Amino acid sequence: MNVLAWNVQGVGNDRTFRELHANVREVNPNILFLSETLGTIAQMEILRVRLGFAGKLVVEKVGRSGGLCLFLLEDIDVTLLSFSRGHIDVLVSISGVTPWRFTGIYGQPDASLRHDFWTLLRRIAYNNSYPWVCGGDWNEILVQNDKDGGPPRPQFLMNNFRTALDDCFLSDMGFEGPKYTWVNKHRDSSFVQESLDRFVCNSAWMNYFPDSHISHLTFRGFDHRPIALATNRRLADSKLLFRSRFHYENAWASESECENIITSEWKATSADPLLKVVESVGAVGKKLQKWNKEVHQRHKKAIGQKLKHMAILDANLDRVSCAEFRKLEKELDVLHEKEEKYWASRAKVSWLKLGDKNTSYFHKCASGRKKKNGIASILNKDAVLVSSPDDLGAVFVEYFSDLFISTKPSREALTRVLMRFHLRFRLL
């Protein structure tokens, strides 16, 4: 079970969606909580579809501020307990798991009204009997050490926050990664960064999910840092990996170097026509894979290097390193422009120009093909539905083993076919 919380400060531009989509892919959350969406119900529905979630709960913006949204995967069943401009409180039910509470938090930004928010938190906690976790942007720090730069935080504000958590039997869950979750990115003496975003939980939650841990993700050009909760480290860190088969990309057809590679590598010397085809295809495929990695994926490597550099700066951000951080952000935007062109070519869309900058559409086309071609489950020969990777593999191996049993054609027939194939290739 993974939960991702982020103060996005508006979801209406492509850059925000791109980073949000990247964070969703990285964390793979069952629950996504966004604050300061500045969006309507209709806008959140569009975002739900684009991100691939099954359900949502929305608190619309008021005027030009606020807005909350809780996105849910289809395996999550929730009961809405309460909501306001500063929170969404739900009871989460998952098959095989004890029901527990999640409260997405957006703390009162006006310090003079923050006491009312702590009163609301106490009211939410009243008579709670479930494992309970809360997460989001609290707009307050616990201790003075949670702030770097600017004037000291008034002690009574921090005391009020700590007292509210104590009254609700909630404790901070700690974190992994950079300490501060908000930064103003000023380059002068007014530079300030604070730990405003966090997860807290009660003892019942910690006893039920003892392996829970919190990760602070990268700023990537935004004021607030996304924070992620995983209930099981081993499950969160484990991934099922499959080796990708070699396949020809249509985007290569526009590259003159691709034709040169095929021509130069189709030079098997075997006297046997069948072996000659196998050797030539193998040599061309190996060379194209290497070329694709060096050329078409070069920008991905550059993006990764930029992100690693940004993560290093992010871990010790100050007003000096902040300037370099902003420079890397601009360079990253340029690399993302190249990625847009790459996805456009992979989307197999010929009626839009690359300059249209419709990355989300291109990515959806390419990802849609992948989803369409993917097989989650299948009936075996006994009409039993199987879904595990091992069972799926066994069904296909058995099917194609039966399908491609040789009819034992003569050697002469095979030679005639292969000779005609070589003749046609040379005439192209």
- The runs of H, that is alpha helices, within 217-318 are 233-237, 256-265, 273-294, 298-315
Same domain? For 134 and 31 the reply is yes
**Domain termination residue (choose one: 216, 237, 258):** 237
Average pLDDT over residues 387-415: 77
Number of domains in the chain: 3
Domain coverage including residue 358: 250-374
Q: Is the pLDDT of residue 278 over 60?
A: yes
Q: Are residues 347 and 404 in the same domain?
A: no
* Whether the Cβ atoms of residue 221 and residue 19 lie closer than 8 Å to each other: yes
Q: Report yes or no on 243 lying in a domain.
A: no
Say if pTM beats, i.e. exceeds, 0.75.
Answer: no
| pLDDT score, position 243 | 45
Indicate which CATH number applies to the domain containing 160. 3.60.10.10
Question: 65 and 167 in one domain?
Answer: yes
Determine, yes or no, domain membership for 46: yes
The pLDDT of residue 70: 95
Q: Please state at what angle helix 298-315 crosses helix 319-346, rounded to 10 degrees.
A: 160
Amino acid type, 31: I
How many C-beta atoms surround the C-beta of residue 260 within 10 A? 11
Proportion of the chain above pLDDT 70, given as a percent? 80
Residue 373: the pLDDT is 63
For position 326, what pLDDT does the model report? Answer: 78
State whether 199 and 294 are in the same domain: no
Looking at the fold, whether 277 and 312 belong to one and the same domain comes out as: yes
80 or 293: which leads in pLDDT: 80
**282 part of a folded domain:** yes
User: Measuring CA to CA, which residue among 232, 227, 140 is closest to residue 179?
Assistant: 227
Does 399 lie in the same domain as 297? no
Cβ atoms of 185 and 326 within 8 Å: the answer is yes
**Which is more confidently placed, 183 or 249?**
183
β 31-35/2-7 pair status: parallel
Q: Of 332, 359, 374, at which residue does a domain stop?
A: 374
pLDDT at 235: 37
User: Is residue 394 in some structural domain?
Assistant: yes
Instruction: Name the pLDDT band for 266 (thresholds 50, 70, 90).
Output: confident
Residues 213 and 334 in one domain: no
- pLDDT (0 to 100) of residue 350: 47
**Which residue type occupies 237?**
D
Q: Could you tell me if residue 245 is inside a domain? A: no
- Mean pLDDT of all residues in 30-53: 92
Give the integer Cα–Cα distance in Å for 169 and 184.
32
Specify the pLDDT at position 399.
82
Last residue of a domain, one of 237, 263, 296: 237
In a domain, 221, yes or no: yes
CA angle, corner 387, sides to 384 and 390, nearest 5?
105
The answer on 144 and 86 residing in a single domain is yes
pLDDT of residue 268: 63
354 and 383 share one domain: no
Are both 312 and 391 inside the same structural domain? no
Tell me the C-alpha distance between 392 and 376, whole Å: 8
Q: What is the pLDDT of residues 65-90, one digit of tens each?
A: 889 999 998 878 899 999 999 999 99
Domain co-membership, 277 together with 382: no
pLDDT for residue 239: 40
The answer as to whether 244 is a domain residue is no
Q: What sign does the dihedral 356-361-365-367 (CA atoms) show?
A: positive
- Over residues 309-352, the pLDDT tens digits come to 877 877 777 777 787 887 887 787 777 776 666 666 555 554 44
Domain assignment of residue 118, yes or no: yes
**Residues 140 and 282 placed together within one structural domain of the fold:** no
